[in-house]
Structure 1
Amino acid sequence: MKRHVVFVHGLWIHSTSWEPWQEHFAKEGYETLAPGWPGDYDTPAATRSDPAGMADVGVDRITDAYSETLATLGAPPIVVGHSFGGLVAQKLLERGQAVAAVAISPAPVKGIRVLPLSLLRSSFPVLSDPRNKRRTVALTGKQFAYSFGNALSRTESDQLHQRFAIPGPGRPLFEASSANFTPHAPTTVDTRRADRGPLLLVAAGKDHTVPAVVVRAAYRLYSASSADTELVEYPGRGHSAAFDNGWRTLADASLDWLARRGL
């Protein structure tokens, strides 16, 4: 029986960004799925034309939607997530619904207190207006180039923006920014849990949206657990690392990490 791998996209990026990973993992014998968030459509164009279904969608609702998908698979799958998808992957791993998880530039879990200026700037298009908590917000090409494509040429950044960018709900960013002051915050993960599956945290050294220092802070939180947790950092990569021209480096490293664990 083939092992399932479920891919979880992040804020502002459509699930079709995972198609190269799906093809690559399928060649290695995995069954793959890349469901969208609640309110997403099957294509970026359709989602851009009608993003209203994503308004007010938060981390818990996103996680629960993927939880429902995982429950249909017959056995806990591997979950690979990027950005807020990386946070969702950690929550599903903590719930015992994933056998292992790869979190690429994951949005911060509750308890991380570092706030780099670039993270604040990347969040500004949403957090600058409290009304955005219940709205969807789209990034301009210039905003995308700063938040995702800063380690790329502007030409490639603009191509990725055109190909994959979609409006995203503002609520997850408000939930993450207030987590340390909110009891039972949606971004809470029990990083001390010892009976979960293996976790690979992936940091990108030039990431403006989730700087590597944030991912390293998550790794330190997990150090209180005896569960298998590994951190790898790619110094020259940005927040687009999961779907830009260098995606295969991360995909191959993830496959190698899984193979070393018999998964």
Structure 2
Amino acid sequence: MSVSQIEQRIEEINASGRPPVVFVHGLWLLPSSWDRWAAVFEEAGYAPLTPGWPDDPDTVEEANAHPEVFAGKSVGQVAGHFAELIGRLARRPAVIGHSFGGLITQILAGRGLSAVSVAIDPAPFRGVLPLPISSLRSARPVLGNPANYHRAVPLTYEQFRYAFANAVGEEEARDLYRTYAVPAPGEPLFQAAVANLNPWSETRVDSRNPERGPLLLISGEKDHTVPWALTNAAYKKQRRNEAAVTEIVEIPGRGHALTIDSGWREVADTALAFVRRFH
């Protein structure tokens, strides 16, 4: 969405009186990865908003032709961008995020900006300690070269297959790669990698804020990038919030592509059922 399209969409949402839902994508994807989800939530009576990260191109083709536009995006910058958009909504929205979008979802919730939140295979925040080998392998295309901190980094098909599409067949994996995969900024991965050594890390989450609101964490059983150990560690920290509901669910047989692969509807329905309870 362009700036003017986002402004128009926010005006439409505010005028509609429907409860808003903001979707936050993660690395190597675009807002279009949420299109089917937005349709499901709209049909259920919600007003979806699918903004991108700053400077996101509109299409996968444009993104792959101009990868440089992704470079230099930090977790703090993206969280601030979504906080500003949420501040223009007349009602606190539900916020749903995947991967680094799941981390940003929790940052926004910790600021008291969301009515209810769903974090799907979320990137770890400061204080989440496990370092699964599969996560390190998934991040190697970026973290393997320190110069990638300031670059936009694409994934090869083989890298995407391991990090995203390991739980689907070869034909579907190739289709997902062609349809959705785009370059991503390296900086957020470096920020997450050193977060527990940096007290001022932009990946900090205020999990104890009584205004955090209900939170559901969703984990794909076969996720290489954010396996159960990471999502469950986040849940254990978040559940210490005595003022808000905190729940976790594991989706059997699913990898990191669970929001875009052929089983996306099961995940969307799980998120929708949780949102409906509180929003």
What TM bracket, shorter-length normalisation? over 0.9
Matched, 1:196 2:224: no
Calculate the TM-score normalised by the size of structure 2. Answer: 0.92
3-state SS, counterpart of residue 140 of structure 2: helix
Calculate the TM-score normalised by the size of structure 1. Answer: 0.98
Matched, 1:91 2:116: no
Q: How does 1:214-225 map to 2 (within 5 A)?
A: 214-225=230-241
- Which residue is equivalent to 1:166? 182
Q: Of 1, 15, 18, which residue of structure 2 is paired with 1:2?
A: 18
**Structure 1 runs not aligned, ≥5 long:** none
For the Cα contact (< 8 Å) 1:40–1:51, is it kept in 2? Answer: no
**RMSD of equivalent CA atoms:** 0.9
Distance 2:272 2:211 in 1: 22
Matched, 1:114 2:130: yes
**Structure 2 runs not aligned, ≥5 long:** 1-16
The alpha-carbon deviation at position 72 of structure 1 amounts to: 1.5
Matched, 1:252 2:273: no
The alpha-carbon deviation at position 95 of structure 1 amounts to: 1.1
Matched, 1:175 2:194: no
The alpha-carbon deviation at position 51 of structure 1 amounts to: 2.1
For the Cα contact (< 8 Å) 1:39–1:52, is it kept in 2? Answer: no
Matched, 1:235 2:252: yes
The alpha-carbon deviation at position 256 of structure 1 amounts to: 1.1
Stretch of structure 1 that moved more, 69-78 or 141-150? 69-78
Distance 2:73 2:126 in 1: 19
Matched, 1:134 2:150: yes
Amino acid at match of 2:271: S
Distance 1:193 1:28 in 2: 29
3-state SS, counterpart of residue 231 of structure 1: strand
Distance 2:30 2:113 in 1: 23
Q: How many residues were matched structurally?
A: 262
Residue identity (%): 45
Distance 2:111 2:148 in 1: 30
Distance 1:195 1:96 in 2: 5
The alpha-carbon deviation at position 74 of structure 1 amounts to: 1.4
Amino acid at match of 1:182: N
For the Cα contact (< 8 Å) 1:8–1:85, is it kept in 2? Answer: yes
Which runs of at least 4 in structure 1 moved beyond 3 Å after TM superposition?
A: none
- Which residue is equivalent to 2:88? 72
3-state SS, counterpart of residue 260 of structure 1: helix
The alpha-carbon deviation at position 151 of structure 1 amounts to: 0.2
